[in-house]
Structure 1
Amino acid sequence: MEDRILKLNEYSALNQPAASGLTLARVSATSHQQYTVITTAGSFAAVVAGRFANLALGPEDFPTVGDWVQVRLPQTPTDVAVIERLNPRQTVFLRKAAGRAAQAQLVAANIDWLLVCMALDANYNVARLERYLAIAAASGAQAAVVLTKKDRASDLTAQLTAVQAVAAAAPVFVCDATKRDGIAALQQWLTPQATYALIGSSGVGKSTLINLLLGTQTIATQAVRAQDAHGRHTTTARQFLRLPNGSMVIDTPGMRELGLIQADVAQTFDDIQTLAQQCRFRDCTHTKEPGCAVQAAIAAGALPAARLASYQQLQQEQAQNQALRGKARENAKIKRMFGSKKQMHAMIKAAKHRRR
């Protein structure tokens, strides 16, 4: 394992230096607010300081895999380190947590490249890929598409054409785990010292792909259901690994759903954005307005109607979730400062009364 652990002294110069008494570390694994951090002194189990937890308004205020943190090291290596500070993030990938509440769930931070994985079997879904790319675009990291299970493709040429159409400038790699050189192109493309995070649905083969990149069976894998290619959550906690070529890779749990909170829909659908500039009306909704360039492109066969539907759905979903998230964070702030809205109003009323 030591040959895959990040050598912190190669990267610490790029980060905010640690305060007096603290040590710079990078989070290598998380599970239920239990952390593993890597420092120049080795690897330690860690928890966040009480003050750190008290100031947090939501899950995104806590560390995640890939974060640079400042820790207070224990006197003995078997004891727990305490995370005192979180360094500013360069990039962060987050999604809406499962359920009705618009609460954010951190996936990974300080990533150079997000590798969006999609299988070419029954898991293949271009609309889902558009969703992943929209969130990836907002993360600050660059995105690449990794198509797995080439041996199970129903129509590789058509599938690849459709993926390249929505991927735009993002690199696209096709992998086949059944062949010795099935991931050669991806291996050659990975850059030493860069950080990559693999994201995608359960069952797309992320763990298998990482094992091939590592050259060992480090991560457990499971079979998927034959009828729909849905997989089990083989990876249940995020983890940070160093590849033989010096690249860092983050394995993330498979996602059954990917709710939008922070997404760049405009960048992902820049073809629609460009067409919209030619519409007769600036506030065109691209539905029934006369002179709509987007609808004209659909009628001419230049733009799939399904792509416009996906664009409109993601725009609406993002707006709704961002509003709910903002309200949730404001309520959390009020609760931390006053205990409840009722107590806040009582304190405001009392302050007004004293000023009379």
Structure 2
Amino acid sequence: MTPLSFDLSLLGWTDSRAAELPDGTVPGRVSRVDRGAAEVIAADGRQHVHHGARVRRAAAADPVALPCVGDWAALKPLPEGRYELDEVLPRTTAFVRGGVSRDSRGGLSGDGQGQVLAANVDVVFVTEPSMHATDLADLGRVERLVALAWESGGTPVVLVTKSDLFGHGLDDLLADVRQAAPGVDVHAVSSLRGEGVDVVRGYLDGSRTAVVLGPSGAGKSTLVNALAGGEVMETQRVRAADGRGRHTTVHRELIPLPGGGLVIDTPGIRRVGLYAMDEGVDRVFADIETLARECRFHDCGHGSEPGCAVLAALESGGLPERRLESWRKLQREAAWMASRTDARLRKELQSRWKSIHKEMRRSGRNRP
């Protein structure tokens, strides 16, 4: 066993978390996951641990219960001097994406189950490159990721990366991004030049944890290296042929920073489905929600109803058509995911009752 080398309070360990730790276990924070195993940072160093029976049973019932990067785990000491990941402690926040995909007909499909990308995160850095080949920032992607960030319980911050590659009009681009993410801090960052890096670091005082999300080629790993003050993540250039980013980061990893705070680097995200959406979409589209309260009918669908304040704003130019279409798309997807989740929960409940009734009938037959 390696000597004491980590002060877990620097990783976010608190007295309130200690109160949740089961007897006979020690705490560790998950820094990386693998199939059936994880790397955790414990008080006596980094440990490679396998999932115990309790974790496997929970994950079989719901994949969201699988250990993920950022989780605090209860580690059970084994006789041979190793640990077993016995239980995932309650999460304060969780960034969950839905299992949404496209079927062969172009429609949405999936099982209503989610995947946790990061847990116990205080800040969600949504990165969007200022220039991606010849395309400007993808505002729809920003809206989607910010909605999921709000839903996670963390605080979203949008970082317009590679600002040094953008010519004239950066202020206009930032204004467009701010309109897509009302109430959210938006910053221009050039990691290579060090511009804006100190602003980003300011969100990580003490033991605060951030996750960095965005597409391949957004400069996530370069930003993490700039925050760490050294090469902790491998980086690659965007392909010249098509302007697309390479998937440099192939796994999620929790990285303690020398000056305090922690950051979770993630692989590039191609598709992120909504999951268990409550108020995330409403917060991203607060401008549309405010307009909707002025509609003549309280159940206005903002399609062709008379006295629709949303359509009036669209016609006057006060509301961009792109933003309304994005709102409609995310509303449809959130409703669809809710129906899939409800259907899955109903099926699980029915299966549970069938098992109970089967056991009752079996017990009845065995009575003398």
Same fold (TM over 0.5): yes
Task: Verify the 8 A CA contact 1:118 1:201 in the aligned structure 2.
Answer: yes
Task: Verify the 8 A CA contact 2:92 2:119 in the aligned structure 1.
Answer: yes
Q: Partners of 1:93 and 1:189 in 2: how far apart? A: 18
Structure 1, residues 184-222: CA drift from partner, whole Å, max 9, x if none?
332344322111110111111100110111111111112
Counterpart of 1:104 (choices 100, 114, 121) is 114
Gaps of at least 5 residues in structure 2 are 102-108
* Alignment pair present for 1:114 and 2:124: yes
Aligned to 1:216: 230
Counterpart of 1:207 (choices 198, 221, 226) is 221
Aligned to 1:152: 165
- 1:232/1:97 CA distance change after superposition, 3 Å: farther
Counterpart of 2:57 (choices 46, 54, 59) is 54
Aligned to 1:41: 44
Q: Partners of 1:330 and 1:71 in 2: how far apart? A: 33
Aligned to 2:8: 8
Mapping of residues 107-256 of structure 1, within 5 Å:
107-122=117-132, 124-153=137-166, 155-181=169-195, 183-226=197-240, 228-256=242-270
* Alignment pair present for 1:322 and 2:338: yes
* Alignment pair present for 1:288 and 2:299: no
Structure 1, residues 132-165: CA drift from partner, whole Å, max 9, x if none?
1111111111110111111222531221110111
Structure 1, residues 302-337: CA drift from partner, whole Å, max 9, x if none?
1111111111110110111222133335545666x5
Aligned to 1:103, the other structure's residue is in SS state strand
Task: Verify the 8 A CA contact 2:126 2:157 in the aligned structure 1.
Answer: yes
Q: CA deviation at 1:349?
A: 11
Counterpart of 1:265 (choices 268, 281, 291) is 281
TM-score normalised by L of structure 1: 0.88
- 1:194/1:224 CA distance change after superposition, 3 Å: same
Q: Partners of 2:208 and 2:356 in 1: how far apart? A: 50
Amino acid aligned to 1:311: W
Aligned to 1:26: 29
Amino acid aligned to 1:192: G
Q: CA deviation at 1:7?
A: 2.5
TM-score normalised by L of structure 2: 0.85
Of the structure 1 ranges 279-288 and 191-200, higher mean CA displacement relative to structure 2 is found in 191-200
Q: Partners of 2:207 and 2:286 in 1: how far apart? A: 31
Amino acid aligned to 2:71: D
Gaps of at least 5 residues in structure 1 are none
Amino acid aligned to 2:44: A
- 1:64/1:130 CA distance change after superposition, 3 Å: same
Q: CA deviation at 1:249?
A: 0.6
Aligned to 1:15, the other structure's residue is in SS state helix
Aligned to 1:97, the other structure's residue is in SS state strand
- 1:98/1:47 CA distance change after superposition, 3 Å: farther
Task: Verify the 8 A CA contact 1:16 1:87 in the aligned structure 2.
Answer: no
Of the structure 1 ranges 19-28 and 110-119, higher mean CA displacement relative to structure 2 is found in 19-28
Task: Verify the 8 A CA contact 2:189 2:196 in the aligned structure 1.
Answer: yes
Structure 1, residues 67-100: CA drift from partner, whole Å, max 9, x if none?
11111124556x4x21222211111001023643
Please report the RMSD computed on the Cα atoms of aligned residues, expressed in angstroms: 2.6
- 1:228/1:162 CA distance change after superposition, 3 Å: farther
Amino acid aligned to 2:358: M
Aligned to 2:106: none
Task: Verify the 8 A CA contact 2:128 2:160 in the aligned structure 1.
Answer: yes
Quote the sequence identity (%): 33
Task: Verify the 8 A CA contact 2:32 2:40 in the aligned structure 1.
Answer: yes
Amino acid aligned to 1:97: G
- 1:332/1:43 CA distance change after superposition, 3 Å: farther
Of the structure 1 ranges 87-96 and 24-33, higher mean CA displacement relative to structure 2 is found in 24-33
Amino acid aligned to 2:40: V
Task: Verify the 8 A CA contact 2:192 2:222 in the aligned structure 1.
Answer: no
Aligned to 1:204, the other structure's residue is in SS state coil
Amino acid aligned to 1:195: T
Task: Verify the 8 A CA contact 1:37 1:46 in the aligned structure 2.
Answer: yes
Q: Partners of 1:332 and 1:226 in 2: how far apart? A: 49
Report how many aligned residue pairs link the two structures.
Answer: 343
Task: Verify the 8 A CA contact 2:221 2:265 in the aligned structure 1.
Answer: yes
